[in-house]
Structure 1
Amino acid sequence: MAGREGQILCCRQFMNSLADSSLEEIKAAIRSEPWLLERFEIGEKFIRTKSGRVYYAFAGLDRNIDSIKSKARILLCWVDEAEPVTDEAWSKLIPTLREEDSELWATWNPERKTSATHKRFRESTGDRMKIVELNWRDNPWFPDILNRTRLRDKEQRPDSYDHIWEGGFVTVVEGAYFASALTQAKSEGRIGRVAADPLMTIRLFVDIGGTGAKADNFVIWAAQFIGREIRVLDHYEAQGQPAAAHLNWCRSRGYTPEKAQFWLPHDGSTQDKVFDVSYESALRSAGYSVTVIPNQGKGAAAARIEEARRLFPAMWFNEATTEAGRDALGWYHERRDPDRGIGLGPEHDWASHSADAFGLMCVAYQEPTTAKRPDPRNFAQHGWMS
């Protein structure tokens, strides 16, 4: 109606053909509104205005991103299911929107706080950006059958309900070892503000990483054992950094040798491949008391998982400083053989380092002993009672 010419570009990260695109969704939306149907022409593989000046185009960003750079007069670019879109794809796509008043719409169900889409559009805002949270309750056409499904998921699948229905991040995945334990801790109020006891030792439990670009991550969980209560105070994770960087973090948090002690896995006494020094010797040189937990041999991962599950009801998490670690615990899950339907042990991915350090804490935990109450008859026998 404004007489403009151009295209509405509809993208997804993964699109091998029009069958994978939003073509059919757009057709259904146009057909549902008579005033739109009057202005658009719909074919088997195309949508365009009846004037022919504006048409829809579809593209996948994983394969066609370089060809998109040559497209002209993009009036609107809609990226649907935008969660997995990479930073490289965004960096190439956005400069193609060269019209002064062109718009970029991104719609997605959030999964990870570390995704390129979340960082670009929710963590970094500007005066020409608008963020709208839309959910099932905002849908005037939300059908009764979906609402029944929602309520059933809320009752039977509380671990995944927030992500599926409320726009929350994925905190647990199918087969996650600690999913129900984290959900229970949240419902019981054991994830909140937890302060350290200044008179008690802070215990630092480590999963060893290395130095270099391809090294495993180095993780620390900071906790205190207060009676039968495990107070999980802090979480730290770094990749490829030397021991000095980890020690600097400890000092910045007040975990000095006077207040804190380290617990290392069995490989803590082996040497770093780059600096030719073990973490045990480096930490002792820095003044820390260090305990190395012996190698548990075969079944060590399963033992850590079972100990963690057993002790979870006694754990309290400081919400603000353990969020990244709890995200890892919620993700840590079993590898499955889809053909045989059997478990293959823990998946080794980004979450496993935090989970291993957490499991080390649970293996190292010792139940407090209760002193046996003295028998008053012994006191009387020895003349200690009047």
Structure 2
Amino acid sequence: MKVRIEPRKQFRPYLLRDNRWSCIVAHRRAGKTVACIQDLIHKAGTHKGNAARLAYIAPFYAQAKDVAWAYLKQFTSGIPGTTSNEGELHITFAHNGARIRLYGADNYDRMRGIYLDGAVLDENGDMDPRAWSEVIRPALSDRKGWATFIGTPKGRNAFFDVWQHAQADSKWFDLMLKASETGLVDDEELADARAMMAAEQYAQEFECSFDAAILGAYYGSLVADAEREGRIAQVELDDALPIHTAWDLGIGDSTAIWVFQVGPEGMRLVDHIEDHGKTLSHYVSELEARGYKGGIDYVPHDAKVRSLDTGRSRLETLAKLGRNPFLLGPSAVDDGINGVRQLFPRMWFDADRCRDGIEALRQYRTEFDEKTKAFKTRPRHDWTSHTADALRYAAQGYREMAIHRVKTKATAKPGQVWIGPPDDTEATKRTRL
């Protein structure tokens, strides 16, 4: 079947590519979503063989519907025999059974077990990195499917990593479209936008700058400082120091854990673990398999709440599983964020084991309220939240150690904590809560 499309000339090189992997960095209103929907339609309509399965994936399901569904229906309405399913957001081609479906990465488990011949990931920097590595990439394997990553920069996040890889690998197709070069937005409109936007916003949204700060990010500049100062590097475990953990405990949601040691220079974050839909015993087993035991497990104050199912709190469950949980006191989110900010210059991260955690911290942010024209007072709840909350508890635990510290492991009594060489001259002792 012949499928005729009429793309903008700026996207013709992409539509004529024969690369398996592609990355497009484009300014706002360049038409990248339209071009990729056209490409999906062309590949679905011309596919030969078993029924093709193609996907457009946005960070959120509602976003996929708002951004792409109308385009998909519009561009397939003139193709004989195509049918649309409003409930499942998919278009099916009658002549070969090919299907294009919209998904949201906020529920990427929904894609587990499917196969894909091709996928477009729109704004993948806003997605949980596990959506690609654990679900989408494996779904492409048996059919040797292709993938295209598209977006506008939001700092040096996962999308930036993809862009860098695409530029360095000759097997990839890469395309960057800046508003000052494409001519897709006229000069008068660009001048007006420049006058009404912050310089960083304009550089990011229209000139595709990955170096512009993510507006509303709590830790973005601090992560950049840590990179520049060499505090994101290889951080090895020190056998002379206890290994502590800080947990954000999800119920039917993600659980995130930071593994850290405390040395004279500050906090050494040696690992980051996150998963969802798993029991506490799973995380305990994972920690022990990696050799992380013997220190303190810092948990939030609501861990003392008893489950109606078991009659036992998560604090009690962790203790029963052989861990050493410490119940942190209540703390306001804003206070916790400020505590992390103050401690951040003394944090060292292992670049490999903490990679996903670092990325979550970089993107953890509040949102801009278009109605009030101000940033909201609460953090945005998304895939970054659990990791950021766990780091708040780690910082709170670090401060608790200053209270519970004793000089040496040998002099520690029950209910006291030894964290290695003390950085104060007079050790303070207090019974643990």
Q: TM-score, normalised by structure 2?
A: 0.56
Match of 1:335 in 2: 367
What is the identity percentage for the equivalent residue pairs of Structure 1 and Structure 2? Answer: 21
- The question of whether the paired residues in 1 share the 8 Å contact of 2:306 and 2:312 is answered with yes
Match of 1:370 in 2: 424
- The question of whether the paired residues in 2 share the 8 Å contact of 1:6 and 1:73 is answered with no
- Give, in angstroms, the shift of residue 268 of structure 1: 1.8
Post-superposition Cα deviations, 1:263-302, rounded to whole Å, max 9, x if no partner, equal 1111122213433211222222233333211113xxx100
Match of 1:233 in 2: 270
In structure 2, the CA distance between the partners of 1:278 and 1:172, relative to structure 1 (3 Å rule), is: farther
Give the greater-gyration-radius structure (CA). Answer: 1
In structure 2, the CA distance between the partners of 1:117 and 1:86, relative to structure 1 (3 Å rule), is: farther
Counterpart of 1:190 in structure 2: which amino acid? R
Map 1:1-386 onto structure 2 (within 5 A): 5-8=1-4, 23=6, 25=8, 58-59=75-76, 63=86, 68-72=91-95, 110-111=124-125, 112=127, 113-115=129-131, 119-120=135-136, 124-125=140-141, 128=144, 132-136=171-175, 143=181, 164=208, 173-210=214-251, 215-256=252-293, 259-296=294-331, 300-342=332-374, 343-366=376-399, 369-371=423-425
Post-superposition Cα deviations, 1:219-263, rounded to whole Å, max 9, x if no partner, equal 21111110132100111223232221121112111123xx22211
Gapped runs of 5+ residues in structure 2?
Answer: 14-45, 47-73, 78-83, 148-170, 185-189, 191-198, 403-421, 427-433
Counterpart of 1:314 in structure 2: which amino acid? R
Post-superposition Cα deviations, 1:165-208, rounded to whole Å, max 9, x if no partner, equal 67x9xx98431101111111112221121111111111111112
Corresponding residue SS for 1:68: strand
Aligned length: 302
- Give, in angstroms, the shift of residue 90 of structure 1: 12
Post-superposition Cα deviations, 1:113-133, rounded to whole Å, max 9, x if no partner, equal 344699535884468556753
Q: Separation in 1 of the partners of 2:233 and 2:362?
A: 17
In structure 2, the CA distance between the partners of 1:244 and 1:160, relative to structure 1 (3 Å rule), is: farther
Counterpart of 1:195 in structure 2: which amino acid? E
- Give, in angstroms, the shift of residue 74 of structure 1: 9.9
Post-superposition Cα deviations, 1:319-350, rounded to whole Å, max 9, x if no partner, equal 22112222221222113432112323112232
Corresponding residue SS for 1:7: coil
In structure 2, the CA distance between the partners of 1:252 and 1:294, relative to structure 1 (3 Å rule), is: same
Q: TM-score, normalised by structure 1?
A: 0.61
Mean alpha-carbon deviation: is it higher for 261-270 or for 65-74? 65-74
Gapped runs of 5+ residues in structure 1?
Answer: 11-22, 31-53, 96-103, 150-154, 373-386
- The question of whether the paired residues in 1 share the 8 Å contact of 2:258 and 2:273 is answered with yes
Corresponding residue SS for 2:241: coil
Q: Separation in 1 of the partners of 2:325 and 2:134?
A: 39
Q: Separation in 1 of the partners of 2:323 and 2:175?
A: 53
In structure 2, the CA distance between the partners of 1:142 and 1:125, relative to structure 1 (3 Å rule), is: farther
Q: Separation in 1 of the partners of 2:227 and 2:10?
A: 43
